[in-house]
């Protein structure tokens, strides 16, 4: 849970672009349907695999494990999409990233320690849907922040740059 300091206000909240979730959903739908298509193309292989009781049990076990892992990856992608948030206030930048199911990293930098802010859009799809990365470089030994797959990265850079000018 993030708490604001006295006199601090949220200026910008950055999240991943929805098209990222749509593209991942398309991949998962393909993976969910792929075994059905594979056995539709090779029906003799399905009949051979399920011809004995042991073969049928192994087939069911392997299929169940395959779909279990697909659902685990879907859950991971949804968690990563919905729980990664980057918040810009009038005093600091807060990076909240969900690393795993029970692992979250929260880091923050004061605006006075930020040296440079830049945007990066790479690829055809990101250019069409206007999403990309915002890179925040800091002074000293602190790690840089990279906000990946966020909507309108140039506008975010402009807002952060304006806040940096106000702080300086």
- Give the pLDDT score at 126: 93
Q: What is the pLDDT along the chain (168 residues), one digit of tens a residue?
A: 567 888 889 999 999 999 988 888 899 999 999 998 888 888 888 788 788 888 888 888 999 999 999 999 898 899 889 999 999 999 899 988 888 878 888 888 888 888 889 999 999 999 999 999 999 988 766 678 888 999 999 999 999 999 988 877
- Asked whether residue 89 is assigned to any structural domain, the reply reads yes
Q: Is residue 4 part of a domain?
A: no
pLDDT the model gives residue 103: 87
Here the CATH number for the domain that contains residue 67 is 2.30.29.30
Residue 3 forms part of a structural domain? no
Q: Cα separation of 44 and 63, whole Å?
A: 17
> Per the domain annotation, does 98 fall within a domain?
yes
In a domain, 134, yes or no: yes
Torsion angle defined by CA atoms of residues 105, 106, 109 and 110, in that order, rounded to the nearest 10 degrees: -170
Asked whether residue 168 is domain-assigned, the answer is yes
pLDDT score recorded for residue 156: 93
Expressed as residue numbers, the domain containing 18 is 10-168
Give this prediction's pTM: 0.75
Residue 1 lies in a domain: no
Of residues 92, 139, 83, the one with CA closest to residue 116: 139
For residue 64, how many other CB atoms are within 10 A of its CB? 10
Is residue 50 in a domain? Answer: yes
Spatial distance between the Cα atoms of 85 and 96, rounded to a whole number of angstroms: 5
The domain tally of the chain equals 1
């Amino acid at each position: 849970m993030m708490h604001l300091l006295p006199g601090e206000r949220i200026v910008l909240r950055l999240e991943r672009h929805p098209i990222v979730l749509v593209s991942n959903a398309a991949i998962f739908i393909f993976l969910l349907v792929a075994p059905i298509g594979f056995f539709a193309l090779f029906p003799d292989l399905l009949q051979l695999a399920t011809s004995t009781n042991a073969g049928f049990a192994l087939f069911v076990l392997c299929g169940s494990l395959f779909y279990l892992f697909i659902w685990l990856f879907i859950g991971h992608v949804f968690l990563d999409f919905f729980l990664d948030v980057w918040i810009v206030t009038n005093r600091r930048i807060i990076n909240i990233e969900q690393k795993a199911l029970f692992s979250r990293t929260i880091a923050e930098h004061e605006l006075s320690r930020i040296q440079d802010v830049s945007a990066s859009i790479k690829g055809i799809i990101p250019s069409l849907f206007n999403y990309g990365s915002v890179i925040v470089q800091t002074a000293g030994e602190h790690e840089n922040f990279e906000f990946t797959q966020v909507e309108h990265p140039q506008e975010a850079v402009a807002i952060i740059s304006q806040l940096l000018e106000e702080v300086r």
